[in-house]
Amino acid sequence: MAAKSKILIVGGTGYIGKFVVEASAKSGHPTFALVRESTLSDPAKWKIIEGFKSLGVIIVLGDLHDHEGLVKAIKQVDVVISTVGGMLLGDQTKLIAAIKEAGNVKRFLPSEFGNDVDRLNCVEPAKSMLSVKVTIRRLIEAEGIPYTYVSSNFFAGYFLPTLAQPGVSAPPRDKVIIMGDGNPRETPFPGNVLMALGHSVFVKGDHTNFEIEESFGVEASALYPDVKYTTVEEYLSHFA
């Protein structure tokens, strides 16, 4: 039996990253998690890191701004997965430079997990906000680094069942909250971005406007046929 690939996850203590680290370790891959030294002093993150250690994950101290440390960490693995958050997407250029110098990586997965930014019909200002992912894709390709782009279509399954009403457990029956009622609430980024992203989730054709070509892509349902998938049409039929 071939040896399992050694995997390095960058951004592993984040919202998505911690699940990727856990899945990698539980799948039997020698798993490394790049962690900033300052993260060790965060009680919440420390708990996550201790959980990693219990799974046999190797903690590597470093960050995207330490080129020498990045190269050293990357030389220990076969696959690099980035799960950095939105504010650090542009800094993946540093990770790409380190991967290029190390010269041993068989596969790089940049931080994607949302829309297929090369085919998205997203409206502004979300379109401009997502352009950094396009830039990162083109740089990876220009450097000749083997890659996989994982597009989960915005995790739309999180929003569709309840018609984008966070916090409820079933489709709304009596009312639907619509943005712009005169009582603005705090949001981590501008409301017009939220509206543009919501448009991308609910407007038919924004995510299903292309066929996946077998020469370079594969549908997740083909990879995991035992998983029951719900289509956008099935979700939205509840509100017809």
pLDDT at 72: 96
pLDDT for 33 equals 98
Is residue 82 included in any domain, yes or no? yes
Asked if the structure places residue 99 within a domain, the reply is yes
Residue 97 included in any domain: yes
Q: What pLDDT does 237 receive?
A: 76
* Predicted pLDDT at 174: 66
CB 26 within 8 A of CB 43: no
> Which one has a higher pLDDT value, 82 or 178?
82
Is position 56 within any domain? yes
Mean pLDDT of the chain: 85
Three-state secondary-structure class, residue 59: strand
In a domain, 238, yes or no: no
Range of the domain at 49: 7-111
Choosing from 100, 133, 204, 228, the catalytic residue is 133
The residue type at 146: P
Domain membership flag for residue 164: no
Reported as a single tens digit per residue, the pLDDT across 146-205 is 999 998 876 766 677 777 766 676 666 666 666 666 666 665 566 677 677 777 777 766
Please state, in angstroms and rounded to a whole number, the distance separating the CA atoms of residues 9 and 34: 6
State what percent of residues in the chain have pLDDT above 90: 49
- Residue 15 located in a structural domain: yes
Q: What is the pLDDT of residue 220?
A: 80
Span of 82-96, 98-112, 159-173 with lowest mean pLDDT: 159-173
Note the pLDDT of residue 162.
74
Is residue 133 annotated as part of the catalytic site, yes or no?
yes
Number of domains into which the chain is organized: 1
- Which residues lie closer than 8 Å to 193 by C-beta, 6 or more apart? 125, 126, 129
Find the CATH number of the domain harbouring 94: 3.40.50.720
